[in-house]
């Protein structure tokens, strides 16, 4: 188990990026391009449907905020919060819903908006939960996809970019609540001698 205490993080948080063990994978410009491409595709399918965008907290809050402004059509927003990670870099495999939707999803065109799909366990749980509630349609929009890490099957309807099997932070994504503010997506590289492992 990787704990924040087990790491010596030498990155300069004020500077934000590319110091110490943070390595930029996608710049803010790259990310803006992915978000705009996703917004175009989503607009084609949902522009006249008054959909319900369901953001998955906490990681997707930055992406959701950028996406809703990029799509440029009327929609509603709700939030759910799932937890499986705790303060580590690997999934516990146990999902809990810490916050349920407050807008009824029955009969709605629901688009789940998530930051990154790794094992797929969280998303599978959420999709099963929503499918039971009788949505008019149910699709998934994720910014980042770690395809090679998948453990359970989930259909992703809109994907911004594929990322390699690395633990990433920034653009809303955290490690033990740190790094969410970074505008770029960075790989958080663990030190060999910290006892940390990249194997999650
Ligand atoms: P999954 O259930 O697909 O394994 O992971 C679900 C959630 O874990 C994601 O929505 C995201 O919030 C978090 N997660 C997965 N991979 C990463 C990662 O590389 N970095 C961070 N910060 N969070 C991740
Ligand atoms: Mg997430």
Q: Per residue, what are the HEC states of 187-200? A: EECCCHHHCCCCCC
Indicate the DSSP class of residue 17: S
91 lines ligand 1 (CB under 6 A): yes
Q: Is 174 a catalytic residue?
A: no
SS3 state at 96: strand
Per-residue pLDDT tens digits for 102-112: 999 999 999 99
**E strand or H helix at 11:** none
Token pair, residue 178, equals 């740190």
CA distance 48 to 175: 38
Choices 3.40.50.620, 3.40.50.300, 3.50.50.60, 3.40.50.2020: CATH for 29-85+94-163: 3.40.50.2020
Residue 78: per-residue pLDDT: 98
- The atom number, within ligand 1, closest to the CA of 169 reads 22
Q: Is the CB of 112 under 6 A from ligand 1?
A: no
pLDDT at position 116 is 98
Ligand 1 atom 16 nearest Cα: 118
Check if 114 has its Cβ closer than 6 Å to any atom of ligand 1.
yes
Residue of 66, 114, 118, 174 with catalytic role? 118
Instruction: For residue 115, report the phi and psi dihedrals to the nearest 5 degrees.
Output: -75, -50
Taking 50 as the threshold, does the pLDDT of residue 21 lie above it? yes
16 C-alpha to ligand 2 centroid (Å): 21
* 35 CA to centre of ligand 1 in angstroms: 18
Predicted local distance difference test score (pLDDT) of residue 83: 83
Confidence check: pLDDT of 180 > 50:
yes
pLDDT the model gives residue 190: 75
- Look at residue 60 in the predicted model and tell me its pLDDT: 98
- Reply yes or no on whether the pLDDT at 64 is more than 60: yes
What's the DSSP call for residue 85? -
C-beta of 120 in contact with ligand 1 (< 6 A): yes
* Residue 194 vs residue 32, higher pLDDT: 32
Classify burial at 115, counting beta carbons within 10 Å of its beta carbon; exposed 0-12, middle 13-18, buried 19 or more: buried
Confidence of residue 91 (pLDDT cuts 50, 70, 90): low
| Ligand 1 contact via 52 beta carbon (within 6 Å) | no
pLDDT value of residue 93: 74
pLDDT at 90: 58
Q: Write down the pTM of the prediction.
A: 0.86
Is pLDDT of 119 > 80? yes
Q: Cβ-count burial of 82 within 10 angstroms (0-12 exposed, 13-18 middle, 19+ buried)?
A: buried
Residues with CB under 5 A from ligand 2 (ion): 56, 59, 114-115
Distance separating the N- and C-terminal Cα atoms of the chain: 9
pLDDT at 94: 85
pLDDT in tens, 131-176: 999 999 999 999 999 999 999 999 999 999 999 999 999 999 999 9
């Amino acid at each position: 188990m990787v704990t924040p205490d087990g790491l010596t993080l030498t990155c300069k948080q004020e500077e934000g990026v590319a110091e110490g063990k943070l390595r930029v994978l996608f710049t803010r410009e790259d990310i803006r391009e992915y978000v705009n491409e996703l917004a175009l595709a989503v607009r084609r399918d949902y522009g006249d449907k008054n959909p319900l965008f369901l953001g998955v907290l906490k990681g997707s809050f930055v992406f959701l905020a950028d996406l809703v402004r990029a799509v440029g059509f009327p929609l509603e927003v709700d939030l759910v919060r799932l937890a499986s990670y705790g303060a580590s870099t690997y999934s516990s495999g146990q999902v809990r819903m810490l916050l349920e939707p407050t807008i009824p999803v029955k009969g709605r065109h629901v688009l789940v908006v998530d930051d990154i799909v790794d094992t797929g366990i969280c998303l599978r749980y959420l999709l099963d939960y929503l499918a039971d509630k009788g949505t008019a349609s149910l699709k998934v929009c994720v910014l980042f996809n770690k395809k090679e890490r998948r453990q359970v099957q989930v259909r992703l309807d809109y994907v911004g970019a594929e990322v390699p099997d690395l633990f990433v932070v920034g653009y809303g994504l955290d490690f033990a609540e740190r790094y969410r503010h970074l505008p770029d997506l960075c790989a958080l590289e663990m030190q060999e001698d910290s006892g940390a492992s990249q194997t999650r």
